[in-house]
Structures are given as C-alpha cells and as structure tokens.
A and B are shown apart, each in its own frame.
Chain A
C-alpha cells in the first residue's frame, strides 16, 4: 500500500519565504503525487484485468460524471465556438477566404480547443467533486472502515470511477466539439455571411481521420489524469472539514496543470497536417 499518512502541505499560512524553498516544496509534492497516481493506475488496471467489477456502481458513476456535466460542458463548448468563429471568420472573410473558414475553425476545435475545454470543465466539476467525496470519506473514517472489512479502497472506489470516466469523458469531449461547431456555424452565418453548406464543405475537405484519433487520445488521457490525480489527492487527505477544502483545491489545480502539459505533449507527438 502507498504511504498515505505523510502530510502533503508543509507550509500553510503566510510565509514570505525563500522562493527556492517553495520551488523545492512544489517539486517534492509533485513527485510524490505523481508516484501515488501511477501506483493507483497500476492497481486499478490490475483489478480490471482480474475481473470482479461492480458494473452497477460503474453505471451510477457514469451518470454522475456524464449526465451531471452535460449542461456545463455544453454551455462552455458553445461559447468557445462562438468566440473562435467570430475572430477567425471575420479575419478570413476580409482576405476573401470564405471557403477556408470552416476548415480552420473545425481543425482548431477538434485538435486543440475541444479536448482542452471539455477537460478543464470536467476537471473542475468531476475532479473536484471526487476529491471532495473521497476526502470527506477519509475525514469521517469511512475509508478506515473499508480497510478493516478488508475491502481495498482502490478496488471499491477508484475502479468504478475510472471505468465510468473512460466511458463518458470521450463522449463529453465529442459533444463539446459538436456544440462548438454548431455555434461556429451559427456565428459564421450571422456575423460574416458564410452559409452553412460552404462552411461544412470546407470542414469536409480539411479534417482527416487522424484528427479524430488525436481528439480521442487527448480525451482518454484527460480522463486518466482527472480520475487518478483527484482520487489519490482525495484518499491522502487527513484532518477535518478544512482539509476537505484544501484537498479539493489541490485536486483542481493539479489536474488542470497536468492536463495542459499532457495536451502539449500529445500535440507535439501527433501528426500535424495543414489545411
């Protein structure tokens, strides 16, 4: 079992300390957290291969993660599509490149903005809710009760959440991309007089299959990051009501940072093509 009883935050409160010391502290916390998340990933995959998955619990979690995030992810994706299409379609229409607007907007939405918007929103909603739930279970000694009954918290709590996230987060990401495109088509028509069929023709000519593969890879990686970082932060929390808040803040910050970093790594490794 991982060493969960080490307090994660050494200095709390106001300290105008040494910047190098705080950098060291940040790195130490990061490495430990990364190790905990990796161990949890291996344990969860091991349990999945050994079978014995509680599918009813997986469905309950999928409802919580997927259906619960539907409105937030939809609204965010729609307005991201609005803002992007507004800038791009007016710029390109000025150059007489009306026929390229759809391709540029769709490529940006599918490869970059769609996965990152959905990932950040799901990290804010699902990751923080999970860290809060697990850390309040730790605080009220429910995790200790599980261990006494010889039930591994990873098998009982993390595996269903992981499978549910693998099912729903790619779906949420595609849904966000779809709504973003719908918003982009609407704005291109309303603000730059580009008819929907010209927009969609351009999308068809520009977007290739590997773009969707990049999209799905990014969303699956986001799902893993959200689940394992927020669950390991939640399970390693200690203390009272205040520490539930600390754990939740830390989960949001860490999952978002790692999502941004992983997003760049996938972008750099994926086959980039031009429109």
Chain B
C-alpha cells in the first residue's frame, strides 16, 4: 500500500466507500495473520525477554508523563460537568461514586489507550516502516529470522505488561482531579468523596477496566505492527503508514470499546 495508490480517492463517494472497505478487509486479514503467528511464537515460548523489557520501558515509562497530563485534564473537565449537574439535585454525596465509576469503566481505559495509540502505535508504525523501506526486514528474512517473532512478539509482551499499569495510573490521576474539583466547586471533602466511591464501585468494574486495557493494548500493537510490516515505498510512505495506524487503531478501539461495554453491562445499581 503506497501513498500514490490513494490519489484517485476523491473521485466518487461510492468509490471511496468501496476503497475503504477493501483496505479494511485486507488490513483485517493481515492483522489476523500477525496475531496467529504471534500466538504461535508465544505458545512455543519463543520470547526475547530482554527485548521485551526494553519495549516495556519504551511503551510504559516513556508514556507516563503524557498519559498523566491527559488524564488529569480529562478528569478535571468531566468531574466539573458531573459536579455542576449533581449539585443542582442536591446529590453532592454521590459525586465520588459517579465520577469514579465513569473513570474506571469508560474514561480511564479509553484515554490511556488513545494516548498510547498516538504515541506508541505511531512510533512503532514509523519504526517498522522505516526498517521495511530500508530493506532491514528483507535482511531479517534472508537470515531466516521471522520478523513477527523478532519484532512483534517483544512489543506485544511489553504492551501487555504495561498497559494495565498505565490504565490504572490514568484512572488514579483522574480520580484525584475529581476530588480536587469536588472540593472546590461542591465543597465535598476527600473523605466523603472516597466513601461514596467505596459504596458505588465493585470488583466487577475493575475486571471491565483490565479487560478493556488488555484489548486496547492488543489492538494498538497488532494494527500498528501490521501496517508497519506491510508498507513499502519511500519517506512519504512512512508518514502515510503512521497516519493509517493511528486512524485504524483508534477507530477499532472505539468500536470494540462499545462492544465490551454492551457485553459487560450488568444493569444499574
């Protein structure tokens, strides 16, 4: 898939839809192959642990600052809206529960995953595409080294180890922002906020949280690695691959997020 192949896309909306569907189906097939080979390597324990730790450092530690800043401001904005609504109904004591439920089940995983898709997914796609266009992947194949085992498996293991940590961290910072907003705008002390959160949140919510974190990590890694391994061309195509990986992984994440929400929703409490 090269940048020159998408020049005709503006021609007709039907052509655009057809092209989008074709690209999507082809990409889904490529992703399926990469997933199958990754699990083949994982089941035979062909994992380079040192490289996995290096990737975990890159994926987790290097994203810490930016995930923190983003979830701080997301938590501030969301709890401000919720607090204003609840104060009007005299429901100050429920602010903690509503804010922490929303952060644990929805906002925490999706914020962390969007930032990881932007930071980690795009840099993985850029790195693998650069390796591909400078014929390093071909060199690996000539040396009879499977690119999936050598490049994808360590990134997958690193992301699986770090994504739940990042997701919990985003949730914690968001809840801290919610506590600050509740104190300033609704005069709710930290103790009342946390009591309300304790009464409302159950273990099931953390299960949903971790499930979403693992699924999002898998989506980001597999889509960006697949796009990186399948792009040929020159310098312009590196940028093109990065755009595709960000767009595809975020779109798929939003869709899967809804499906998981629908399947795990067990009714109001």
Contact = CB atoms under 8 A, between A and B. Distances in A.
Main secondary structure of the interface of B (DSSP, over half): helix
B4 interface: no
Contact of B10 (A23, A67, A257): A67
A131 interface: yes
Interface string B104-127: 011000000011011100110111
Interface string B227-246: 00000001110111011001
B216 to A, nearest CB: 14
Given A76-B251, A121-B250, A256 B239 contact: no
Contacts, number: 184
Contacts of B20: 71
Contact of B80 (A63, A71, A272): A272
Contacts of B265: 86-87, 90
A37 to B, nearest CB: 17
A108 interface: yes
Contacts of B105: 87
Contacts of A121: 247, 250-251
A129 B81 contact: no
A273 B80 CA distance: 11
Interface residues of A, number: 65
A244 B81 contact: no
A249 B69 contact: no
Nearest to B71: A260
A245 B123 contact: yes
B262 interface: yes
A5 interface: no
B54 A252 contact: no
B73 A72 contact: no
Nearest to A246: B126
A256 B127 CA distance: 21
B268 interface: yes
15 contacts: A63-B10, A71-B17, A72-B247, A82-B262, A94-B268, A108-B81, A124-B118, A129-B240, A132-B239, A244-B238, A248-B238, A253-B115, A267-B80, A268-B77, A275-B85
Interface of B: 9-10, 16-17, 20, 54, 57-58, 65-66, 69-70, 73-74, 76-78, 80-81, 84-85, 87-88, 105-106, 114-115, 117-119, 122-123, 125-127, 129-130, 133-134, 234-236, 238-240, 242-243, 246-247, 250-251, 254-255, 257-258, 261-262, 265, 267-268
